[in-house]
């Protein structure tokens, strides 16, 4: 079994991630494969100093490469990995003591053609920015829905911060597509789904997400995810995604849908609207995270995400043709 950890300039987080992996409560030997993606913060100097505790069944492998992005970094980690089962952990995700064993148990119990997804919960000792907290709230809603049996895990929940599958499936699917700098995990998941793999949410495979992201990075991610949705649908033969985008847009909160429509129809509105929403959402300084903050961030995310869709489609007019709402 191999745990693959891609990392970029997060030495202050990575040390805690590695320490948690070295303390796993499992009798199964496993390797930790860490690939530094062009880090410049001392990560490359730290990696050779990592040593398993005496008597440990854990081995450590590490490599450094020029900055190529998360898809290429995970691919290199998979190429180094020798285990039949690969667990992906991000460099800001700290595993609970039994995470590795929980992934192994799920694969042994549920079969060969399986992708296991574990939750990334909020750490009690970490203060998040409002926009990162918003993101975590959205994630927790998905976990709660799957726990309640409202829906089963799908390719949409394949976040490689905490997920596992057999190495052979990764290799046969061709690995991560390096043309994607974001949503590369979901893009791979669609191909795994096409190959007949099942997705399983394992709530006992717990990890804690020490998430840090600048406001601009968070906002940019929303826009890129929107563009990628169109690319997946148009260029990767996933025509079902267009009706899905339309359904979700039409079922947005009416006020958010109206504001988003205005910004897509009149692109000059986007900047002042996102500046105002960002200020309400916490970019202006410390705020009490409440309903107004959450609402503002939801609206901002919608504006950026749907602007990405519209611009990848070619125009606002084309956007409204696709979503069927003017």
Sign for the pseudo-dihedral over CA of 206, 212, 214, 217: negative
Evaluate if residue 286 carries a pLDDT over 70.
Answer: no
d(CA 107, CA 112) in angstroms, rounded, equals: 7
d(CA 188, CA 150) in angstroms, rounded, equals: 24
* Residue carrying structure tokens 């296991």: 116
Cα angle 121-38-14, degrees, rounded to a multiple of 5? 30
Mind listing the pLDDT tens digit for each residue in 211-251?
Answer: 999 999 999 999 999 999 999 888 877 778 888 888 889 98
d(CA 314, CA 323) in angstroms, rounded, equals: 14
The H or E element containing residue 6 is strand 2-7
Mind listing the pLDDT tens digit for each residue in 169-216?
Answer: 999 999 999 988 788 898 999 999 999 999 999 999 999 999 999 999
Q: Which of 95, 61, 76 is nearest to 103 (CA)?
A: 95
Provide the pairing of β-strand 58-65 with 85-89: unpaired
Helix ranges (H only) for the chain are 11-22, 43-46, 70-80, 99-110, 130-147, 167-173, 184-194, 215-235, 241-250, 254-265, 270-278, 291-313, 316-323
- What's the CATH superfamily of 2-209? Spore Coat Polysaccharide Biosynthesis Protein SpsA; Chain A (3.90.550.10)
Mind listing the pLDDT tens digit for each residue in 128-164?
Answer: 999 999 999 999 999 999 999 999 999 989 999 999 9
**Distance, C-alpha 70 to centroid of its chain:** 11
In this prediction, residue 275 has a pLDDT band, given cuts at 50, 70 and 90, of very high
The H or E element containing residue 115 is strand 114-117
Helix ranges (H only) for 59-161 are 70-80, 99-110, 130-147
Helix ranges (H only) for 35-86 are 43-46, 70-80
pTM comes to 0.92
Q: How far is CA 160 from CA 87, 91, 192, 290, in A?
A: 9, 11, 13, 29
In the three-class reduction of DSSP (H, G, I as helix; E, B as strand; rest coil), residue 176 is classed as coil
Tokens read off for 178: 């390096």
d(CA 4, CA 245) in angstroms, rounded, equals: 32
Each domain of the chain, given as residue ranges in start order, spans 2-209, 215-323
């Amino acid at each position: 079994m191999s745990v693959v950890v891609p990392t970029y300039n997060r030495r202050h987080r990575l040390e805690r991630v590695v320490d948690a992996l070295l303390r796993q409560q499992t009798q199964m030997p496993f390797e930790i494969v860490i690939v530094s993606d062009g880090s410049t913060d001392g990560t490359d100097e730290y990696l050779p100093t990592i040593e398993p505790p005496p008597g440990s069944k854990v081995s450590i492998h590490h490599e450094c490469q020029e900055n190529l992005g998360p898809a290429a970094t995970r691919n290199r980690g998979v190429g180094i990995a020798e285990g039949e089962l690969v667990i992906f952990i991000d460099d800001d995700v700290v595993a609970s003591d039994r995470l590795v064993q929980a992934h192994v148990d799920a694969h042994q119990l549920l079969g060969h053609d399986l992708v296991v997804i574990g939750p990334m919960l909020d750490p009690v000792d970490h203060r998040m920015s409002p926009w990162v907290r918003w993101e975590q709230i959205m994630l927790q809603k998905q976990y709660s829905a799957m726990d309640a049996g409202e829906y089963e895990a799908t390719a949409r929940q394949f976040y490689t911060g905490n997920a596992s599958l057999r190495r052979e499936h990764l290799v046969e699917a061709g690995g991560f597509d390096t043309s994607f700098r974001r949503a590369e995990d979901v893009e791979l998941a669609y191909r795994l789904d096409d190959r007949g793999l099942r997705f399983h949410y394992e709530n006992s495979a717990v990890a804690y997400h020490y998430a840090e992201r600048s406001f601009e990075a968070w906002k940019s991610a929303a826009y890129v995810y929107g563009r990628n949705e169109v690319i997946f649908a148009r260029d990767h033969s996933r025509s079902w995604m267009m009706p899905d985008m339309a359904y979700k847009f039409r079922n947005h909160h009416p006020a958010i849908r109206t504001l988003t429509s205005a910004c897509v129809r009149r692109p000059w509105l986007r900047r002042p609207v996102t500046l105002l929403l960002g200020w309400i959402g916490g970019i202006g300084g410390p705020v009490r995270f409440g309903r107004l903050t959450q609402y503002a961030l939801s609206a901002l995310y919608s504006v950026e995400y749907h602007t990405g869709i519209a611009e990848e489609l070619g125009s606002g007019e084309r956007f409204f043709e696709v979503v069927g709402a003017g």
